Structure 1
Amino acid sequence: MRYDNMINIFPMVRHWFARLSATDPGLVRLFQSTKVILSVILAIFTTSMFLKMAGYPQITPAILSGVAGMMGILVVMDETEKEKKWTTVMLGFSSAAAVTLGTFLAKYAHAADLALLLVVFGAFYLQKFGVRYFSLCMISFISIYFSSLLKLQFNQVPWFYAAISIGIIYAFLFNFVFLKDKPEKILKRSMNSFHKQSNLTLSLIKDAILDPIYSQRRLKTLQKNVTKLNEYARVISGQLGSTDPGRIWPGIKPNQLRLYVFDTEMLIQTFLSAAYRLKMQHALEQADIRQTLSRVAQALLDAEVLRDEYTSKNLEEAERTIQDLRKQLNDLRIENRDDCKWLYLVRRVESIANHVIDGAYILQEARNQYYKGNFEEAPSKASDKPVNNDDHKEKNDQAESKGMQPSTKKAFQALLAGALSVIIGYSLSPAHQYWILLTAYVVLLGTETVGRTVMKAIQRSVGTLIGAIIGFLLAHSISGQSLLEITLLFCCIFMAFYFLPVSYAVMSFWITMMISIMYDLLLGGITEKLLQDRVIDTVIGAGLALFISAILFPLKTKEKIVENVKDFLGELDGYTTGYFESFIGERKTINLADSAFQLDQKLNLIRTNAEPLQKIPGRLNRTGIERWMTILVAINYYAKHLVASTSRRTMYESDQELMDTICSINEVMKENIHHLCELIDGKRGLTVKELNRQREWIERYPDKNRDYTLQHSILIHNLYYVWRINKSIIKLAVELGAAIEKQDENIQED
């Protein structure tokens, strides 16, 4: 009995282990947090040993050493490794100079306050010249804060120089030697996470197909998993822009892997949608359809072509399963019209599954050819490159040059919020007068709109409040147990930075927990008054940041969403143009799969910036943004299916009239997208065009050229989502005040 229980538990453990390992694509958060905690621990330990051997009585230099080790990992964000190394080294000099300046200014009333405010201003303002200056200002702020708080004397400064050097050395070692970021390894781990998430989702879809009971809860779980899979796919697409997959899987090119990831994501998304619509229409009550779809899901689970131990039998079995599904569809005799309602759903799954199998064969064949020595380095193609957005960036730069740049606006916001924070800090809590300033500074970081500032201020306040309560209770319960307190202190640091990309509130919780334990450890006890002051100062600092962002150069949430929507439509314009190039024989200027991921990324940015409006009941609907997002989600869905559901091997005969019609479709869509952007900007009196005439011409074309009936049927299928995209654009444009331009829909008969 006990053995049977172990057998039952093992799959569950394996399932949850796979789920947890899939939640961090590429294990980026895990490795970053590990580097931070190791750098902090070793910096503090080494500095403490050095101070003890040198006979220095205080431990405060060791704390600054840990801070330097932490910031040397977190704030270095340059693009190239060489730039990152130089920035890391410069952090040490910047910190040392800031400690010297803070020590010198400590004897002058409020001079250190002024220095802090200037550094805060510089952190935002200097970003326009490069991210390095932001990093240098960040560590300068902490160093001046530290030296002012401790009221250092000049005879103590050399000890702090040594401590800073030790912290920066460990940060350098973990960043560039011991735990160096290797793009190839990150990509491989990201693909492992992607495959695990794909397999988890496919397993759930398979269970849903076999289960005769419809479950709304299971559907929501599956939709969350598909959303997560889409996020992983976007992460991989971004990594492929700078990482050659051929170094991991010899012979494979970036565009091949990107298309495979895109097809896999689209297959699972389509599989989920089709499975539940089939269930609602009772199609899965037919045992043969249910079993075949279940076999397709299982075969796709096994066909993981990038595994080191991969065998071609898995892929061959998947291909046979897809062939069985196709044969079953062809042999299925439709006896009543009810079957017509769902048969296309199965065909849609079969079509995209074919793309996945074809992509898997291409990857496997590329690897085989490489090992056989037949691999040749292909010349660079435009389609292998990411989409060029230089024109769009130039437009943004021109728009920003007309007014004050965002970094400058944010710098003045931070300066005013900082000045008020210092004044209030001295009035309310002279013992720790910079807590309000620190909170206001951090809340303003990375928040472009007033709405995002509101969210971050609330998250900071709530996380701090909960962390203070639990931290106070925990610190009291373990007070006096130094080893346990130190262990928990480092655990809090690790958890704070592990969850930072996930939730700012959770990060604030762990940071406050860390502060509670640290104060208990250093001061021999922590009081309710101290934590109460911490919470109050945090709320005041967050409130000040929110207040200043709302009255000084405010950027409203809707204004930012309008900018994001125009970016999305600009990407859509290039995407559809690239798609039509495949019909008229022109060389592709973009990679369609990569552009589809860019559309996903821009749509996700719209969702992110709309979150503050979603928190207020009815606000999203009243502003009209909810309707915009609904139509944009539909456009994104149709656009992705242009690549996922259409044939990629069909060549159309050279027919000038057909080519002219395709060009006409492209021109109409470009004009409609351009007019929609102007409507979003507030311009009125514009018109948009339907494609009824072009669609009717395309659908009648096979009647005029019966020698190419199959090709033209595929052409009609391939353009189906083009009509849907244009209808969605027209729908949104009409809601914004556009008129539909009338056109002659009569087609001249030959």
Structure 2
Amino acid sequence: MINRCRKVATIAQMFYHKAMTTYQIVLNRIQHMRARLTASDPGLTRLITTTKATLSVMTSVFFVSALLALLDQGSLTVSIFAGAMGLLGVLVVFDDTRFKKQVTTALLPISAAISITAGAFLSQYPHASDVVILIPIFSAFYFSKFGSRYFSISMVSFISIYFSSILGVPFQDVPWFYLSILVGIGFAYLYNFIIIRDQPNVTLKRSLRSFHVQINLLFNLIGSYVSSSDQERQRKALKRELDYNAERLNEYAQKVSSQLSNVHPEEIWPGVTKEQLRIYLFDASMLIETLLPTMDDLLKDGAFQNESLQRTTATLLQAIRDIRALRHIDSEQQIQAAERRLEEFKQLTIETQLDSETFFLFNRLITMCEHVFANVRTLQALRTQAIEVKDRDNMEEDTSAEEEDDQEGKDSRMEPTTKKAIQAVAAGSVSIVLGYILTPSQQYWILLTAFIIFMGTDTVGRTFLKAVERTIGTVFGAIIGFVIAQFVYGHTYVEIGLIFLCIFMAFYFLPISYSFMMFWITMMVAMLYDLLLGGITWGVLGARVVDTIVGAALALAAAAYILPKKTQEKVSETTLDYFSHLNKLLNGTLQQLKGDPEPLDLTEKTFEMDETLSQLRTDAESMRKTPGATTRTRIEGWITRIATLNYYAKHLLTPTAEIDDQLQAVIDQLNEYINDNIDTIQLLLKDERSHAVVWDVEVLPSHMAYFNDYENNERKLTDSYHHFYYIRLINQTLVSFATDLGAQTERTSV
């Protein structure tokens, strides 16, 4: 009996341990997924905006429906139009300040009222509305050069005319639509500025939390990467995930930095200025960018076969991860623990035989860690000091950087907004004609597709991608929407709930995937037609798919043949902007090395370079997806070189001590050649020079011997050697880029 009880107890204990292990695994997985979701929406801006839009639609529809039922009026179209106004009132207002947004929102009802009246009145005159509806299309693009407000007003005007024409709004019912306009825009105003109003300080705090979550995810991944040294397949998968998440971290840092223009961080973290927060973001990002190649090289060299080095590296990563900068005022113990781990790491690297390149990366990593620790200490000291000073009368506000006037003269060519307006009207005119031929009952579906595709596309390539994405999303949305509509037919409340769900999902995922957004919109249309028409047929959805394809093709044709802007032109313009930022950063770095009392805000300049690089990737997306191997290979090489330049240039922003006089002269000479090479590249990009020469600079053996001896004897990286190393790499990359553009190379020495 006793043995049986022991056996039962052993089995129970085994099951308990297994259950607890499974529970812990599931819990860790849930926490991991929660962290990813938090990090994927920095500041929760997507969630908040989509929630406001969905609530605005719901309350507008329900309020107007209840009011009409109370007044014994049964027009469902009035309720739907109120929902459309509630949606537009949230989503089409893009002004940069709260006051400007309020003014724009207040002007929307006027635009909608005039347009719905015109649409209803002109419906009795054949084809009059066909001409009038082209006016807001032209205005939306042409007047957007004066501000986003004019696009918002024109967009609401277009939707109002479209709605009145499609549904055949009787002129005597126009007053009811005035009511729906006031209710829809009113609820949009209520959610935008009162109930869920924008709070820049809260958004910044949430965005920084997302930034920290992403960093922690990366530290966890790096730890797994280090421990996977003997598993090749797992290591490759982790490397891809690391590269992806490192790119996301850079985007989050850009987003936080861009939010600082309208926020004073000292109101959230007393004593912390905008510049100091930008430096903190930059240092944290650069620490990750330095960690990744260092760990990669160590793995390739088999350094982590040394269990002691692997264990020390893991404890260092954990110690850095545990530092709660800006989240806990007293983080001194965490910093000291990380410094002890760093010292152990440093001693171990000295004892380990490493090649010069890997040793350089190790020292760079150690330098970055020390710099991050010092920066966190500075932030902590500033916060502590600011909290202790309770009775100060005035808080010193961080002045914003001076705006630079980069206009080098007006371009005599036609402005992009004018080109887009002409293209949209041309495509719209043909769309209306084809609409009457293909789907007379819904003659503006093709027009709507063409108009929306032109939004946010400024090149032929971008227009092509958006047209393809819209078509794919519409086709799959129509199929799935039809199937779901068959299952929920007759269940009115279920259909209404699904419609609101589709609205939320469509606009939540819009910044991520336009195809996914169109998938949900088409599903919503399928269920909306099922609700309004008492059933949906393949004929109706098939007509929508055909109209989408035709509208997309017309938009693409107009962009390609009427005043076209080639993708290569846009890529060249963005690349020119990047080299302009790079040149300013290099010159500013040298000024800082020479002790300039007021150097350029170099940290902000690096974020501008990051944003330009991101824009370049977006502009070149269609070329990177082109089937032609030559085009794709060339643009991939182009972007790779610029990304390499970006990486090297950011390493120049390190704390500057005393620069070596001998090296300072060498760096000055190198920089002169680099400036000349950048000027040459810019002329080549503008097609202003057919024969160009770039300088391939060779460092004299005497200088190289000096540095090699310094490195081997001192085993310590100075600012002199660091700047020299990266400036050389920058010039080598510039030479490679220029020769790819057709420049000739001449060798020189310093």
Q: What residue in structure 1 maps to residue 238 of structure 2?
A: 218
Deviation at 1:376, TM superposition (A): 10
Q: What residue in structure 2 maps to residue 510 of structure 1?
A: 520
- Residues 1:543 and 2:543 are matched in the alignment: no
The worse-fitting range, judged by mean Cα deviation, of 598-607 and 512-521 is 598-607
Corresponding residue to 1:715 among 711, 720, 743: 720
The answer to whether the Cα contact below 8 Å between 1:99 and 1:157 also exists between their aligned partners in 2 is: yes
Q: What residue in structure 2 maps to residue 748 of structure 1?
A: none
Distance 1:694 1:183 in 2: 53
The answer to whether the Cα contact below 8 Å between 2:324 and 2:331 also exists between their aligned partners in 1 is: no
**CA offsets per residue over residues 486-526 of structure 1, 9 Å max, x none?**
11110000000000010000000000000111111111111
Q: What residue in structure 1 maps to residue 691 of structure 2?
A: 685
**CA offsets per residue over residues 652-704 of structure 1, 9 Å max, x none?**
48x6x87666544433322221111101222122222344468966985999x
Corresponding residue to 2:366 among 323, 341, 350: 350
Amino acid corresponding to residue 250 of structure 1 in structure 2: P
Q: What residue in structure 1 maps to residue 132 of structure 2?
A: 115
- Residues 1:316 and 2:321 are matched in the alignment: no
- Residues 1:572 and 2:582 are matched in the alignment: yes
- Secondary structure of residue in 2 paired with 1:688: strand
After superposition, the Cα gap between the structure-2 partners of 1:387 and 1:567, relative to the gap in structure 1 and judged at 3 Å, is: farther
TM-score, structure 2 as length reference: 0.92
Amino acid corresponding to residue 70 of structure 1 in structure 2: L
Corresponding residue to 2:640 among 610, 630, 635: 630
Distance 2:298 2:352 in 1: 17
- Secondary structure of residue in 2 paired with 1:156: helix
- Residues 1:443 and 2:448 are matched in the alignment: no
Amino acid corresponding to residue 359 of structure 2 in structure 1: L
- Secondary structure of residue in 2 paired with 1:421: helix
The answer to whether the Cα contact below 8 Å between 2:60 and 2:187 also exists between their aligned partners in 1 is: yes
Amino acid corresponding to residue 614 of structure 1 in structure 2: R
Q: What residue in structure 2 maps to residue 421 of structure 1?
A: 431
**CA offsets per residue over residues 539-586 of structure 1, 9 Å max, x none?**
100011011111001111111111111111011011111111111122
After superposition, the Cα gap between the structure-2 partners of 1:367 and 1:376, relative to the gap in structure 1 and judged at 3 Å, is: farther
Give the number of aligned pairs. Answer: 725
Distance 1:659 1:9 in 2: 57
- Residues 1:57 and 2:69 are matched in the alignment: no
Distance 1:161 1:323 in 2: 72
The answer to whether the Cα contact below 8 Å between 1:584 and 1:662 also exists between their aligned partners in 2 is: no
- Residues 1:270 and 2:290 are matched in the alignment: yes
After superposition, the Cα gap between the structure-2 partners of 1:700 and 1:610, relative to the gap in structure 1 and judged at 3 Å, is: same
Please give the root-mean-square deviation of Cα atoms over the aligned residues, in Å. 2.5
Distance 2:295 2:91 in 1: 44
Corresponding residue to 1:407 among 417, 422, 432: 417
Distance 2:64 2:135 in 1: 30
After superposition, the Cα gap between the structure-2 partners of 1:231 and 1:695, relative to the gap in structure 1 and judged at 3 Å, is: farther
- Secondary structure of residue in 2 paired with 1:642: coil
The answer to whether the Cα contact below 8 Å between 2:698 and 2:749 also exists between their aligned partners in 1 is: no
Deviation at 1:371, TM superposition (A): 1.2
Distance 1:472 1:636 in 2: 48
Amino acid corresponding to residue 359 of structure 1 in structure 2: N
Amino acid corresponding to residue 204 of structure 1 in structure 2: L
Q: What residue in structure 2 maps to residue 74 of structure 1?
A: 91
Distance 1:105 1:327 in 2: 83
Q: What residue in structure 1 maps to residue 322 of structure 2?
A: 302
Deviation at 1:102, TM superposition (A): 0.7
**CA offsets per residue over residues 16-58 of structure 1, 9 Å max, x none?**
1111111111111000000000111011111111111122121
- Secondary structure of residue in 1 paired with 2:694: strand
Q: What residue in structure 1 maps to residue 101 of structure 2?
A: 84
What percentage of residue pairs aligned between the two structures are identical?
39
Distance 1:139 1:488 in 2: 25
The answer to whether the Cα contact below 8 Å between 2:680 and 2:693 also exists between their aligned partners in 1 is: yes
Distance 2:569 2:511 in 1: 25
Deviation at 1:481, TM superposition (A): 0.7
**CA offsets per residue over residues 578-633 of structure 1, 9 Å max, x none?**
11111112234422222112111111111111111122234464673232222112
Distance 2:684 2:575 in 1: 12
TM-score, structure 1 as length reference: 0.92
Distance 2:592 2:395 in 1: 20
Corresponding residue to 1:99 among 100, 116, 123: 116
- Secondary structure of residue in 2 paired with 1:99: helix
Amino acid corresponding to residue 150 of structure 2 in structure 1: Y
- Residues 1:650 and 2:657 are matched in the alignment: yes
Distance 2:89 2:546 in 1: 30
**CA offsets per residue over residues 334-388 of structure 1, 9 Å max, x none?**
4xxx65563333323222112221221111111111112199989788xx74574
After superposition, the Cα gap between the structure-2 partners of 1:588 and 1:741, relative to the gap in structure 1 and judged at 3 Å, is: farther
After superposition, the Cα gap between the structure-2 partners of 1:5 and 1:688, relative to the gap in structure 1 and judged at 3 Å, is: closer
Corresponding residue to 2:410 among 387, 398, 412: 398
After superposition, the Cα gap between the structure-2 partners of 1:627 and 1:696, relative to the gap in structure 1 and judged at 3 Å, is: farther
The worse-fitting range, judged by mean Cα deviation, of 580-589 and 416-425 is 580-589
Deviation at 1:314, TM superposition (A): 1.8
**CA offsets per residue over residues 429-463 of structure 1, 9 Å max, x none?**
11000000000000111111111111000000010
- Secondary structure of residue in 1 paired with 2:197: coil
- Secondary structure of residue in 1 paired with 2:261: coil
Distance 1:3 1:310 in 2: 35
The answer to whether the Cα contact below 8 Å between 2:118 and 2:161 also exists between their aligned partners in 1 is: yes
The answer to whether the Cα contact below 8 Å between 2:667 and 2:727 also exists between their aligned partners in 1 is: no
Corresponding residue to 1:362 among 353, 378, 382: 378
After superposition, the Cα gap between the structure-2 partners of 1:544 and 1:312, relative to the gap in structure 1 and judged at 3 Å, is: same
- Secondary structure of residue in 2 paired with 1:152: coil
**CA offsets per residue over residues 84-133 of structure 1, 9 Å max, x none?**
10100100111011011111111111111101011111111111122111
The answer to whether the Cα contact below 8 Å between 2:45 and 2:203 also exists between their aligned partners in 1 is: yes
Q: What residue in structure 1 maps to residue 680 of structure 2?
A: 675
Distance 2:616 2:393 in 1: 42
- Secondary structure of residue in 2 paired with 1:624: helix
Amino acid corresponding to residue 162 of structure 1 in structure 2: L
Q: Superposed, which structure 2 residues align to 1:3-18 within 5 Å?
A: 3-18=20-35
Q: Superposed, which structure 2 residues align to 1:527-606 within 5 Å?
A: 527-606=537-616
- Residues 1:325 and 2:345 are matched in the alignment: yes
After superposition, the Cα gap between the structure-2 partners of 1:541 and 1:696, relative to the gap in structure 1 and judged at 3 Å, is: farther
Corresponding residue to 1:183 among 200, 204, 209: 200
Deviation at 1:6, TM superposition (A): 2.2
The answer to whether the Cα contact below 8 Å between 1:33 and 1:497 also exists between their aligned partners in 2 is: yes
Deviation at 1:212, TM superposition (A): 3.3
- Secondary structure of residue in 2 paired with 1:155: helix
**CA offsets per residue over residues 139-188 of structure 1, 9 Å max, x none?**
00000111112222232111110110011111111111111111111111
The worse-fitting range, judged by mean Cα deviation, of 45-54 and 408-417 is 45-54
Q: What residue in structure 1 maps to residue 736 of structure 2?
A: 731
- Secondary structure of residue in 2 paired with 1:603: helix
- Secondary structure of residue in 1 paired with 2:133: helix
Q: What residue in structure 1 maps to residue 11 of structure 2?
A: none
Runs of at least 5 residues in structure 1 that lack an aligned partner in the other structure: 746-750
Distance 1:591 1:99 in 2: 51
The answer to whether the Cα contact below 8 Å between 1:305 and 1:315 also exists between their aligned partners in 2 is: no
Distance 2:356 2:49 in 1: 53
- Secondary structure of residue in 1 paired with 2:603: helix
Q: What residue in structure 1 maps to residue 483 of structure 2?
A: 473
The answer to whether the Cα contact below 8 Å between 2:663 and 2:720 also exists between their aligned partners in 1 is: no
Runs of at least 5 residues in structure 2 that lack an aligned partner in the other structure: 1-15
Deviation at 1:225, TM superposition (A): 1.1
Amino acid corresponding to residue 229 of structure 2 in structure 1: P
- Residues 1:174 and 2:186 are matched in the alignment: no
